[in-house]
Amino acid sequence: MLVDLLGRVGRPREKAWGLAGSPEELAEAFRGDAREGVGHVQVVLDPNTLAGIEAFAPVLALLDDH
Protein backbone atom coordinates (compact mmCIF):
# COMPACT_ATOMS: atom_id res chain seq x y z
CA MET A 1 0.00 0.00 0.00
CA LEU A 2 1.46 3.35 -1.02
CA VAL A 3 0.73 6.05 1.54
CA ASP A 4 1.10 9.70 0.51
CA LEU A 5 1.87 11.99 3.44
CA LEU A 6 2.07 15.75 3.68
CA GLY A 7 5.28 16.78 1.94
CA ARG A 8 5.33 13.85 -0.47
CA VAL A 9 8.04 14.05 -3.09
CA GLY A 10 7.34 11.13 -5.42
CA ARG A 11 5.86 11.29 -8.87
CA PRO A 12 2.10 11.84 -9.24
CA ARG A 13 0.00 8.69 -8.96
CA GLU A 14 -3.56 7.82 -9.67
CA LYS A 15 -5.66 7.58 -6.50
CA ALA A 16 -6.28 3.86 -7.09
CA TRP A 17 -2.61 3.12 -6.44
CA GLY A 18 -2.36 4.57 -2.97
CA LEU A 19 -3.87 6.21 0.07
CA ALA A 20 -3.82 9.76 1.30
CA GLY A 21 -5.64 11.50 4.11
CA SER A 22 -5.66 12.32 7.77
CA PRO A 23 -4.40 9.76 10.30
CA GLU A 24 -8.03 8.92 11.09
CA GLU A 25 -8.89 8.40 7.41
CA LEU A 26 -5.81 6.25 6.83
CA ALA A 27 -6.50 4.13 9.92
CA GLU A 28 -10.10 3.60 8.79
CA ALA A 29 -8.89 2.57 5.33
CA PHE A 30 -6.64 -0.08 6.91
CA ARG A 31 -9.51 -1.22 9.15
CA GLY A 32 -11.67 -1.55 6.04
CA ASP A 33 -9.03 -3.76 4.44
CA ALA A 34 -9.00 -5.91 7.59
CA ARG A 35 -12.79 -6.24 7.47
CA GLU A 36 -12.41 -7.49 3.89
CA GLY A 37 -10.02 -10.20 5.09
CA VAL A 38 -6.66 -8.58 4.42
CA GLY A 39 -4.27 -9.87 7.05
CA HIS A 40 -1.04 -8.23 5.93
CA VAL A 41 -0.07 -4.95 4.28
CA GLN A 42 3.28 -3.61 3.20
CA VAL A 43 3.38 0.16 3.62
CA VAL A 44 5.54 2.40 1.45
CA LEU A 45 5.59 5.96 2.73
CA ASP A 46 6.06 9.06 0.60
CA PRO A 47 8.09 10.87 1.69
CA ASN A 48 10.29 7.92 2.63
CA THR A 49 12.14 9.80 5.35
CA LEU A 50 12.30 9.98 9.12
CA ALA A 51 9.72 12.77 8.91
CA GLY A 52 7.46 10.45 6.90
CA ILE A 53 7.77 7.72 9.51
CA GLU A 54 7.00 10.21 12.27
CA ALA A 55 3.98 11.47 10.32
CA PHE A 56 2.68 7.89 9.98
CA ALA A 57 3.07 7.13 13.71
CA PRO A 58 -0.38 8.55 14.64
CA VAL A 59 -1.97 6.09 12.18
CA LEU A 60 -0.29 3.19 13.96
CA ALA A 61 -1.37 4.58 17.33
CA LEU A 62 -4.99 4.69 16.16
CA LEU A 63 -4.78 1.14 14.88
CA ASP A 64 -3.18 -0.01 18.14
CA ASP A 65 -6.18 1.38 20.05
CA HIS A 66 -8.51 -1.18 18.40
pLDDT digits (tens, 9 = 90+) for 8-59: 566 555 554 577 888 999 999 999 999 999 998 888 887 888 988 998 999 9
pLDDT band at 63 (very low <50, low <70, confident <90, very high): very high
- As a whole number, mean pLDDT of residues 3-10 equals 64
Instruction: Determine contact, residues 51/41, Cβ cutoff 8 Å.
Output: no
* Alpha carbon separation from 62 to 11, 14, 24, 39 (Å, rounded): 28, 26, 7, 17
Angle in degrees, CA 25, 27, 31, rounded to 5: 115
* Sheet of strand 44-46: strand arrangement: 18-20, 2-4, 44-46
Q: What is the model's pLDDT at position 12?
A: 55
Dist. CA 7–CA 51, nearest whole Å: 9
pLDDT at 35 (0 to 100):
95
- At 13 the pLDDT is 56
Instruction: Check: pTM over 0.85? Answer yes or no.
Output: no
